[in-house]
Structure 1
Amino acid sequence: MRISCLLLWTCLAALALAACSTEADDMGIVARVNGKPIYLSQLEFQHDLLHMDGTGAFVPTVEVLRGEYGQILGDLIVMEMVSQELDARGLGVTDEEVAEEERKVRADYPDDSFDQVLVEEYIDLASWRERLRYNKALEKFQRLVLRPQIKIDYREAEDYYKQHIKDFRIPETLRILVVRSSDKAPLAEALKVYRDTRDPEAMRADEKVAVHEITVRQGQLSSSWLEALQELPPGESSPIMEEKFGYEALVLLERLPAKQLDPTQAYPLVEQALLEHKMRDAFETWLSNAWNSADVQVSEHLLPRPEGEAAAEAGDPAAQEDQANLESRMGQEDAGKNALQEGMAPLGPDDTPLEQEGDNSENAVPAEGQAQ
């Protein structure tokens, strides 16, 4: 479920009178939610995620950085509120649940390659686990708190179907076997076995060959697959094609013609669509009510500023100095990442550790193990 940006920014704008102090005990803290701190390191972690696929040494302006950090902070505040709501209901995420989620992610990586990815991508495991805990909290909140509140009447489903009937027309689809191997000879032999037996399982007998059955809409086919399947009769295989990973061939199992789903067939899809709408509305209602009773304090440096103030900074020497300091900070972060490889702790501009309050996430570029 995506959180409403408008609602978040409305909430953040209302915090101008509740900004965090700049006392020494707030060093490294960018917000507090009912007394629980959110650290700058958490923002940096999520900000690195945002730019994980970026290239080059682009240095954002102070205004752009403030905007990106503000949006990320809004998400973190709401996720913390969700976690606290679960705790209050006795439904909080346990360490065992986090460990189970981590186990599922690690299962997608052979041997110890997951840990290798962490090292190569400068991913801090503690910060990654913290994000995993937030994700699990949101999933539990949706399933255990919001979902029981929602009911879908059959008349709503009928009306939705009639109003969106075009959405329930299924275009032509194809059932195909994708057969792959790093070597051409085993793949050719597997295709021969299929022609003789018509049994996909028989092809899987050779460990050098991978066989996957998929159903795909014709409009979603790549140009090479579309060409290979264009004139192919059901039950036949395409020529062997060379790819980056090795070789592949396609076996066309069945062409499924386009059809219009009737109301009974479409009901699961209708129910899912209505459920998503109602869950989003229920979440925003809960968030609005929870916000009214929450004690949230945010650093004034991340709050939205009045219109025109950013433009005024363009000729402001102080703003230009902020930009210079930011560029220097970015340089310090790059140096810190290099130092990580040498077992050194990255230092801030005043030669003190960048991270505060015992957080050791550094400025690693994190990932969530593809777990959303």
Structure 2
Amino acid sequence: MCKIKTFIPVIIILFFLFIISCKIDNAPPGVIASINGEYIYLDEIEKKYDFIHFEYDEDFLNIAKVKKEYRNELMNLFLYKLIDQELKKRGLAVTDEEVQKEEEKIKSDYPPGEFEKILIEEYIDYDSWKKFLRIRLSINKFINTIIKPNIKINFKEVESYYKNHIKDFYIPNMISFTLFYCANKNILQEIRKNKLSIESIKNKYPEVIVHDYKLSLEQTPMLWKTALEFTQEGHFSKIKNDKKGFYLLKVNKKYSSKYLEPAQAYPLIERAILSKKINQYLYNWFIKSLRNAEIKINKSLLEG
């Protein structure tokens, strides 16, 4: 999934809003704006703001700052409403079934009842969370069904990106190794002496903790780094101890630093270019849609 920037420069948006917006008349209580006849309630902005700022913020008493952030959230809600309206116009609106399916998928990663418990602990209203889920699904559908089919990436763009971002494709020295950890030093000596396989170790010595790692030398903890550097592939290091027990390292493979070839880097390049083009397409579409939209707004929100 591509990451999109939903925040459009506010100064540009305010320019459009002051030109094309009208005063709201005879609107239901709590309406802060409308776009193409669809109301946006202050409650929506407050919940969106609270969803992002659920922890106590000392700046909450800074009225000017809160108003500015409310304006930003209003801009995002305009974007979401326009996306939803476009999907409905094309018969592609996110259905209740799609929302339910995604909700069940998310909940499946948690024990029964745990997800709801987390929402309560984080002071997140369930209905609001579900609305935000629908928004996310709408944005994803808009990107996948409307934006992506209009985006093309040619070879020259890929080649240029590779040359201009060559540092991004540098792979440092890497090392693949296995850590054996145990409170009994004699067991590790047995493993080292007889070069036991991982399978036999797990069967014979279940008390031994076994972990596989593949890290760059820069990422490797200093505690292990020296031992790994001076241990050949396929060999064990010397047994070391810490405060809780003993550990043994086995070097599986060492990888020299290199730059990814263009063909290897292509998926990364494609993702980066695609993300940039999606954001640009979305920005242009949003500005154009605002020009053509009927917007009514409570101007008091834009003051201060």
Q: Report if aligned partners of 2:71, 2:301 keep a CA contact under 8 Å in 1.
A: yes
Aligned to 1:30: 32
Provide the rounded CA distance (Å) in 2 between the counterparts of 1:162 and 1:252: 34
Provide the rounded CA distance (Å) in 1 between the counterparts of 2:22 and 2:289: 19
The SS at the match of 2:124 is coil
Within-5 A mapping of 1:195-274: 196-199=196-199, 202=202, 215-220=214-219, 225-232=221-228, 233=231, 236=236, 253-274=252-273
Provide the rounded CA distance (Å) in 2 between the counterparts of 1:26 and 1:249: 70
Provide the rounded CA distance (Å) in 1 between the counterparts of 2:209 and 2:102: 27
Q: Once the two structures are superposed, what CA deviation does each residue of 1:228-252 show, in whole Å capped at 9, x if it has no partner?
A: 3442345658868789xxxx99875
Number of aligned residue pairs: 290
Aligned to 2:24: 21
Aligned to 2:276: 277
The SS at the match of 1:32 is strand
Q: Report if aligned partners of 2:180, 2:249 keep a CA contact under 8 Å in 1.
A: yes
Provide the rounded CA distance (Å) in 2 between the counterparts of 1:190 and 1:101: 47
Q: Once the two structures are superposed, what CA deviation does each residue of 1:192-247 show, in whole Å capped at 9, x if it has no partner?
A: 889632349958x97x99977564444445xxx3423442345658868789xxxx
Aligned to 2:138: 137
Aligned to 2:52: 50
Aligned to 1:78: 79
Q: Report if aligned partners of 1:12, 1:74 keep a CA contact under 8 Å in 2.
A: no
Within-5 A mapping of 1:77-96: 77-96=78-97
1:39 CA drift (Å): 1.9
1:97 CA drift (Å): 1.3
The SS at the match of 1:15 is helix
Q: Once the two structures are superposed, what CA deviation does each residue of 1:169-198 show, in whole Å capped at 9, x if it has no partner?
A: 222234456889xxx779x98998896323
For the aligned residue pairs, the C-alpha RMSD in angstroms reads 3.7
Q: Report if aligned partners of 2:45, 2:74 keep a CA contact under 8 Å in 1.
A: yes
TM-score by length of 2: 0.79
1:93 CA drift (Å): 0.8
Q: Report if aligned partners of 1:28, 1:41 keep a CA contact under 8 Å in 2.
A: yes
Letter in 2 for 1:146: I
Q: Report if aligned partners of 1:229, 1:252 keep a CA contact under 8 Å in 2.
A: no
Aligned to 1:161: 162
Q: Report if aligned partners of 1:193, 1:202 keep a CA contact under 8 Å in 2.
A: no
- CA 1:285–1:176 in 2, change beyond 3 Å: closer, same or farther? farther
Q: Report if aligned partners of 2:191, 2:201 keep a CA contact under 8 Å in 1.
A: no
Aligned to 1:338: none
Q: Once the two structures are superposed, what CA deviation does each residue of 1:19-58 show, in whole Å capped at 9, x if it has no partner?
A: 55375x4322222121122222221222123323x44665
2:1 maps to 1:2: no
Letter in 1 for 2:282: F
| Structure whose alpha-carbon radius of gyration is higher | 2
Aligned to 1:331: none
Q: Report if aligned partners of 1:9, 1:74 keep a CA contact under 8 Å in 2.
A: no
Provide the rounded CA distance (Å) in 1 between the counterparts of 2:25 and 2:200: 67
Provide the rounded CA distance (Å) in 2 between the counterparts of 1:251 and 1:30: 64
Provide the rounded CA distance (Å) in 2 between the counterparts of 1:168 and 1:282: 27
- CA 1:231–1:278 in 2, change beyond 3 Å: closer, same or farther? same
Structure 1 stretches of 5 or more lacking a match?
311-372
Structure 2 stretches of 5 or more lacking a match?
none
Provide the rounded CA distance (Å) in 1 between the counterparts of 2:82 and 2:189: 56
1:77 CA drift (Å): 1.2
Provide the rounded CA distance (Å) in 1 between the counterparts of 2:51 and 2:80: 16
Provide the rounded CA distance (Å) in 1 between the counterparts of 2:243 and 2:294: 60
Q: Report if aligned partners of 2:7, 2:72 keep a CA contact under 8 Å in 1.
A: no
Letter in 1 for 2:105: K
- CA 1:295–1:274 in 2, change beyond 3 Å: closer, same or farther? same
Letter in 2 for 1:73: L
Identity of aligned residues (%): 30
Within-5 A mapping of 1:309-348: 310=304
Aligned to 1:126: 127
Provide the rounded CA distance (Å) in 2 between the counterparts of 1:102 and 1:293: 34
Provide the rounded CA distance (Å) in 2 between the counterparts of 1:45 and 1:155: 45
- CA 1:229–1:66 in 2, change beyond 3 Å: closer, same or farther? same
1:163 CA drift (Å): 2.4
Letter in 1 for 2:5: R
Q: Report if aligned partners of 2:23, 2:297 keep a CA contact under 8 Å in 1.
A: yes
Deviates further, 104-113 or 82-91: 104-113
Letter in 1 for 2:159: E
2:296 maps to 1:297: yes
TM-score by length of 1: 0.66
